[in-house]
Every structure is written in C-alpha cells, then in structure tokens.
Amino acid sequence: MLITIPDVLTAGQVAEARAALDAAEWVDGKVTAGYMAQMVKENLQLPEGHPVAVRLGEMVLAALARSPLFMSAALPLRVFPPMFNRYTGGGHFGTHVDTAIRATASTGQRIRTDVSATLFLSAPEEYEGGELYVEDSYGAHSVKLPSGHMVLYPATSLHRVAPVTRGARVASFFWVQSMIRSDADRTLLYDLDMAIQRLAVDVPGNPAGVQLTGVYHNLLRRWAEM
C-alpha cells in the first residue's frame, strides 16, 4: 500500500526546518547504508543524534501523532527517530530494499522496518529529478510531492531516488514498526477504517457502522503484535 499524506507539516514548520537544515553540517549518506546500498547511494545526511536532527525529528513525531491518516495507514507500534537527507549535484540512490532491522543510535532499541516514510521538505519546483520510484506487487509509482507532504510505502518494496540534476532535494525519512506486520493486512484494515468513516458521514447513526467498527477492532485484536 502506497499512501500520500498531505500537510504533515505546515508551511511555517517547513520554513523553520529548512532554515535549520541549510545551516547544518552534512555528512556522507553512506554512513547509514548497508553493504549493498553503499554501492548505489550518493547523498548527504545529518548524523544520527545531531542536535538539529533531534529537534526537527521531535517536530515531525509530534505532527505524526496529530495525523489520523498516518495512524490509520501505519498503525504504528514504534517509529524510528526521523532522519534528514539532501540530494544535489547528481546525487541519487539506486534500487534497493531497506534494511529489515534498525537500531537507534541513542538507545540501541531495535525496530523492524515494516513501513518506509519520506517527508518532502523541498518544493518540486526547487529541483529537477529526485523522484522516488517505488516498485511492488501493486505496480511501479513515481512520487514527488509538495513540501510538507509525506508518502508511506512498504519497506519490502524495491525503491530508488532518481538523480537530482538541478537544485537540492531535502527530505526527512524514517521507518515504522507497525502493530500489523503484513502489508496486506494493514491495507485491509485501512480500507475498512476508511469505509467506516465514510459511512459515519454519509449515513450517520446507521447500525452497520457499529458492526463494522466491531469487525475492525476484532481483526486488529487478532493480528496486532505488541
């Protein structure tokens, strides 16, 4: 399931993040890449634990907590602390699959990467190239979103970032360990949740809404890993 979530950050928050990131010192993005990914990764990152990354990461996490769409789509159990990258001057990331298990630098806590997330901090007109290409059983998709918008997709997907030939593509990226390990099961629950919400608006008070809500929670109770 590939889901676009608009306006995760406000225009003011994006401006604040960009000002802090533009003044920060970046390092080679290969520092967090696995053995195979290092051979196809050409970008810059803020180091894990960098004060700017920590401060902006807390901003992103607070915004996610306020997003019903993120909660419904990801069903998060744990969220890896948001990181930040920059592509410019031909920077790119070739086709790869994200590492299955990640450990946070600050605590060493391990999370399983079920869902990958990219939160765009550059407007599309600021750069050329830099599209995120995601391939999975649902097909191949190109993603290039307005600043403040985010895309979620299965971490099991093959994906890549096209070379940036003009300007700079700045983004936050992170992973989610979901309460629901299977992408197919998460998709089913998401579709059911969306149907329940539409029913509540279109036919308020319909008893079917209570029944469907019960089905949703009983499936969540059956499948959730805590």
**What is the per-residue pLDDT across 127-169, written as a single tens digit (0 to 9) for each?**
999 999 999 877 889 999 999 999 999 999 999 999 999 999 9
Residue type at position 175: W
Q: What is the pTM of this model?
A: 0.94
**Cβ atoms of 178 and 75 closer than 8 Å:** yes
Rounded to 5°, angle at Cα 105 from 56 and 108:
130
| Helix H or strand E segment including 80 | none
Domain boundary assignment for the chain: 3-178, 183-223
Contacts of 220 (CB under 8 A, 6+ apart): 75, 179, 180, 189
Domain 3-178 shares a fold with domain 183-223: no
Alpha carbon separation from 26 to 20, 85, 223 (Å, rounded): 12, 8, 41
- How long is the chain? 226
Side-chain-facing half-sphere of 163: CA atoms under 13 Å: 4
DSSP 77: E
Q: Across all residues in the chain, what is the average pLDDT?
A: 94
Query: If you search the block for the tokens 């920059």, which residue do you land on?
Result: 86
Greatest CA span in the chain, whole angstroms? 58
3-178 is a CATH 2.60.120.620 domain: yes
Fold of 183-223: DNA Excision Repair, Uvrb; Chain A (4.10.860)
Q: At what angle do helices 207-223 and 183-202 cross, to 10 degrees?
A: 160
**What is the per-residue pLDDT across 37-81, written as a single tens digit (0 to 9) for each?**
667 889 999 998 999 999 999 999 999 999 999 999 999 999 999
189 three-class SS: helix
**What is the per-residue pLDDT across 9-43, written as a single tens digit (0 to 9) for each?**
999 999 999 999 999 999 987 776 555 566 788 99
* pLDDT higher than threshold 80 for residue 181: yes
Q: Whose CA is closest to 186, among 220, 213, 149, 139?
A: 220
